[in-house]
Amino acid sequence: AAMREEHIEKTKTVCTYCGVGCAFDIWTKDRKILKVEPQIEAPANGISTCIKGKFGWDFVNSEERLTKPLIRDGNEFREAEWEEALSLIESKFKETRETYGPDSMAFISSSKCTNEESYLMQKLSRAVVGTNNIDNCSRYCQSPATMGLFRTVGYGGDSGSITDIEQSELVLAIGTNTAESHPVLATRVKRSHKLKGQTLFVADLRKHEMAERADLFIQPSSGSDLVWLSAITKYIVDQGWQDQTFLDRRVNDLEEYIASLAPYTLDYAEEVTGVSKDTLIFMAERIAEVNTVCVLWAMGVTQHLGGSDTSTAISNLLLITGNYGKPGAGSYPLRGHNNVQGASDFGSMPDRFPSYEKVTDEKVRKKYEQGWSVSLPEEPGLNNHEMIDAVHEGHLKLMYLKGEDMGLVDSNLNYVHEAFEKLDFFVVQDIFLSKTAQYADVVLPASPSLEKEGTFTNTERRFQRLYQALEPLGDSKPDWQIIMEVANRMGAEWSYSHPSEIMDEAASLAPLFAGVSYERLEGYNSLQWPVAADGTDQPVLFLDEFPFPDGKAKLFPVEWTKPLEYGEEYDLHVNNGRLLEHFHEGNMTYKSKGITSKTPTVFLEVSPELAEERGLNDGTLVRLTSPYGNVKVECLITDRVKGKEVYLPLNDAGEGAINYLTSSYADKDTDTPAYKEVSAKLEILREK
Ligand code: SF4
């Protein structure tokens, strides 16, 4: 046994899937992944993982991994050496910038990549090419939550830690399928609910596992969350149950805010949302009565026309009830990808440098100009939604996108694919030939998390290090190395020899990460931003003050925006989201046998009532058609959905891909697509 163990390596890593940020040792022998062993000192998960973290690693050695750069040759790709691919990129980048200017180019970072890689991508865009056209996929998910928190409390991240959620007296989960999307975090809530008497309220369209377990489950009509949240807040204020001491000491704009609640009476809320007045009163009583409330929310809240406003309403409720700045309370917009928090934190946003400092702030810009020895663009750039429009309008000619399957995850796919075809030059960097990569002119082979060093930041703002377990496969390279080579071809003189040097540079410029260093993150050590220069971090935010000039939070009035209307013909509402076994479109999970044997394909959840009315059975093949496109998928009859509500999981890259149905309508404040506002008609293609 000793002999056999000789070549076995144990390497600490962080899960590549969701934002919970489970850390564990991974056992490898050569390229073989033997097992995943969580360690008690892992801060987010201890000894737990879910099926994806435990069994979702086959993709790393998949035969479909890209191992060589690819260059388009008519309708095909041919393999090429790095030298040829990079030379082609260099000449096209230079030519485009000279002919059309830097703003004709755009960059997309990845939430699967490390913080250091996000930092370099925005530096390439800003400092080397000279444009703020840089974004990342949080535009598709939690940007509205960030907006709601910026408006009210100043930082766009979870206000406490996962342990605070665990300790809270009452958890309110809105539009989050936590048990499937953030399984290890959900386990902690389930445990507190069962063993410690934690109260669990769930609001969602679909009766998922958390809803089954909840003390109270409400199903407000789609897109109406702002109305019942505001009605509860108003009722609390009308009864005089607000936390007046907290409001007096720590919050501004109370009167104006209270006046804005006038329309949100219980009668109005009952009429709009379908949730009874008595239920809303019961919720208000419990929320006002307990000492600590945590609100968890996700895409069911954010992916609407009024996603930012609803997120703001959540934060307003927490302020009114004094649920910030103490352990066991606060706001928790649960992050989807392992590093979607970090992608934004490190400046892959069109209007923000790392640390969320504004590109329009002259002092900040000067700091970066000095730090990077360049002059920088002054105007905010295009977000990824605007980039697609700009391609259609002819302003945007070139895109460089890494680790993001925009051609599947953006809304209104037919429109997105047309834009890809219109680009003069398109570089995609990924580990697989994704749907998006199929439209590229050059595809660069990158390395997944196990093949590189770096840091990820989980949903609780926690930095964790990942160590390299395997060599890059074939000719693939870590993203940070590829970005550096592209930058140097464009005239930069970067010479990072390890990601720790990139972090040191970021920490010297970005105040939120001032004290972050690889030494402080050794092994299972972690830090939660903001991290002061002496290394003090903040597991719970706002203990003393809010990050506004006078240290006080703001109550921010918001109004309800009605969801999109599709007309009578499109009579079914199509909800969508994840399944436990698969991660988003399944680019990685479909390549793991342990997972596909359990959930091999996508299906459409249909209620028993609708099945009866339309003659649908398990396995009936149907076509759903919206004004923007159609999908083909088999039915699964279940009481998880009710009435004319159907549910289409995201995990399909083919004819069942949800985004053939979604529109280009988006949250009015952040341009996050209104993915959850989809209606469609159904026809049977094959009986069962
Ligand atoms: Fe990975 Fe999330 Fe599962 Fe943890 S809960 S193992 S981070 S997918």
- Residue % of the chain over a pLDDT of 90: 79
Which of 528, 552, 580 is the endpoint of a domain? 528
Within this chain, do residues 349 and 321 fall inside the same structural domain, yes or no?
no
Q: Is the CB of 53 under 6 A from ligand 1?
A: yes
Distances (CA, A) of 107 to 43, 128, 276, 519: 33, 12, 47, 31
| 325 and 402 both lie in a single domain | no
- pLDDT > 90? residue 601: no
pTM value? 0.91
Q: Does 222 lie in the same domain as 316?
A: yes
Structure tokens belonging to residue 367:
């700091």
In this structure, the answer to whether residues 619 and 516 fall within a common structural domain is no
CATH number of the domain within which 272 lies? 3.40.228.10
- Tell me, using a 6 A CB cutoff, whether residue 14 lines ligand 1: no
Residue closest via CA to ligand 1's atom 2 equals: 18
pLDDT above 90: residue 683: yes
448 Cα–ligand 1 center, Å: 16
- Specify the pairing of strand 134-135 against strand 105-108: parallel
Mean pLDDT of the chain: 93
Please count the other Cβ atoms lying within 10 Å of the Cβ belonging to residue 132: 27
Asked if residue 225 belongs to a domain, the reply is: yes
Name 173's bridge partners.
202, 296
Cα–Cα distance, 32 to 26 (Å, whole number)? 10
What span, in angstroms and rounded, lies between the C-alpha atoms of 450 and 448? 6
Query: CA 134 to CA 350: how far, in whole Å?
Result: 5
Burial class (CB in 10 A: 0-12, 13-18, 19+), 3: exposed
Say what the pLDDT of residue 2 is. 42
Residue 212 lies in a domain: yes
Once rounded to an integer, what is the mean pLDDT over residues 160-189? 93
CATH of the domain at 589: 2.40.40.20
Claim to verify: residue 483 and residue 465 sit in the same structural domain: yes
ipTM above 0.90, yes or no: yes
pLDDT band with cut points at 50, 70 and 90 for residue 592: low
User: Distances in Å between the alpha carbon of 605 and those of 86, 116, 616?
Assistant: 46, 40, 11
> For 649, what's the count of Cα atoms within 13 Å in the CB-facing half-sphere?
25
pLDDT of 632 above 50: yes
Residue at 546 is within a domain: no
Which residues lie closer than 8 Å to 642 by C-beta, 6 or more apart?
Answer: 207, 219, 607, 609
Q: Which pLDDT score is estimated for 101? A: 98
Helix axes 225-238, 266-273, angle to 10 degrees: 160
Going by C-alpha positions, the residue among 626, 14, 121 that lies closest to residue 354 is 121
Same domain assignment for residues 276 and 301? yes
Is 583's C-beta closer than 6 angstroms to any atom of ligand 1? no
Residue 561: other Cβ atoms inside 10 A: 18
Q: Which of 43, 61, 79 corresponds to the end of one domain?
A: 61
Instruction: Give the pLDDT of residue 135.
Output: 95
Residue 25 domain flag: yes
177 & 307 share domain: yes
Length of the chain: 688
User: Would you say the CB of residue 679 lies under 6 angstroms from ligand 1?
Assistant: no
Is residue 195 in some structural domain? yes
Distance CA 157, CA 63 (A): 38
251/364 same-domain check = no
Q: Which atom of ligand 1 is nearest to the CA of 17?
A: 8
Residue 564 falls inside a structural domain: no
Q: Residue 26 sits in a domain of what CATH number?
A: 2.20.25.90
Domain hosting residue 28, numbered range: 2-61
How many angstroms separate the alpha carbon of residue 194 from the centre of ligand 1? Answer: 22
Is 678 in a helix, a strand, or coil? Answer: coil
Atom of ligand 1 nearest to the CA of 184: 5
Tell which of 18, 34, 61 closes a domain.
Answer: 61
| CA-closest residue to ligand 1 atom 3 | 50
Q: Is the pLDDT of residue 520 over 50?
A: yes
Probe ligand 1: pick from 14, 26, 49, 466, max atoms within 8 Å of CB?
A: 49
Same domain, 230 and 323: yes
Does residue 582 register a pLDDT over 60?
Answer: no
Q: What is the percent of the chain where pLDDT is above 70?
A: 95
Range with the poorest average pLDDT among 21-25, 276-280, 521-525, 652-656: 652-656
- Residue 588 pLDDT: 66
Query: Are 277 and 266 within 8 A, CB to CB?
Result: yes
Same domain, 180 and 80: no
Nearest in space to 125 (alpha carbons), one of 368, 381, 366:
381
Cα-to-centroid distance, 571 and ligand 1 (Å):
36
DSSP 578: -
Q: Calculate mean pLDDT across residues 566-576.
A: 90
Q: Give nearest CA residue, ligand 1 atom 4.
A: 22
* pLDDT computed for residue 594 by the predictor: 65
Q: For residue 32, how many other CB atoms are within 10 A of its CB? A: 11
For the cut 90, the answer to whether the pLDDT of residue 143 exceeds it is: no
Residue type, 5: E
Atom of ligand 1 nearest to the CA of 182: 5
pLDDT of res. 508: 98
Residue 85 confidence (pLDDT): 98
Query: pLDDT tens across 53-83, in order?
Result: 998 999 999 999 999 999 999 999 999 999 9
Q: How many domains does the chain have?
A: 4
Ligand 1 geometric centre to CA of 162 (Å)? 13
17 lines ligand 1 (CB under 6 A): yes
Phi, psi of 539 (to 5 degrees): -60, -35
Is the CB of 50 within 6 Å of ligand 1?
yes
Which of 13, 18, 35, 334 best tests ligand 1's pocket when mutated (most atoms within 8 Å of CB)? 18
Is 588 among the domain residues? yes
How is residue 534 annotated by DSSP? T
CA-wise closest residue to 429 among 495, 354, 486: 486
343 CB-near residues (< 8 Å, 6+ apart): 109, 110, 111, 113, 118, 136, 137, 138, 337
User: Given this model, what pLDDT does residue 1 score?
Assistant: 38
- Angle, helices 499-509 vs 115-123, to 10°: value is 70
Longest dimension (CA), the chain: 74
pLDDT band at 452 (very low <50, low <70, confident <90, very high): very high
Peptide bond into 511 cis (omega under 30): no
Tokens for 39, please give them.
């360690």
Q: What distance in angstroms lies between residue 16's CA and the mean position of ligand 1's atoms?
A: 8
| pLDDT computed for residue 589 by the predictor | 63
- CA distance between the termini of the chain: 53
pLDDT surpassing 80 at residue 584: no
- Is the pLDDT reported for residue 221 higher than 80? yes
Ligand 1 atom 6, closest CA: 53
The verdict on residue 561 lying in a domain is no
What is d(CA 179, CA 161) in angstroms, rounded to the nearest whole number? Answer: 18
| CA 357–ligand 1 middle distance (angstroms) | 30
Q: What ligand 1 atom has the least distance to the C-alpha of 14?
A: 7
Same domain, 155 and 294: yes
In this structure, the answer to whether residues 96 and 48 fall within a common structural domain is no
Instruction: List Cβ neighbours of 402 (8 Å cut-off, separation of 6 or more).
Output: 108, 109, 110, 113, 117, 121, 428, 429, 430, 446, 479, 482, 483
C-beta of residue 298 within 8 angstroms of C-beta of residue 181: yes
- Spatial separation of the C-alpha atoms in residues 675 and 269, rounded to whole Å: 23
Give counts: helices (H), strands (E), the chain.
25, 26
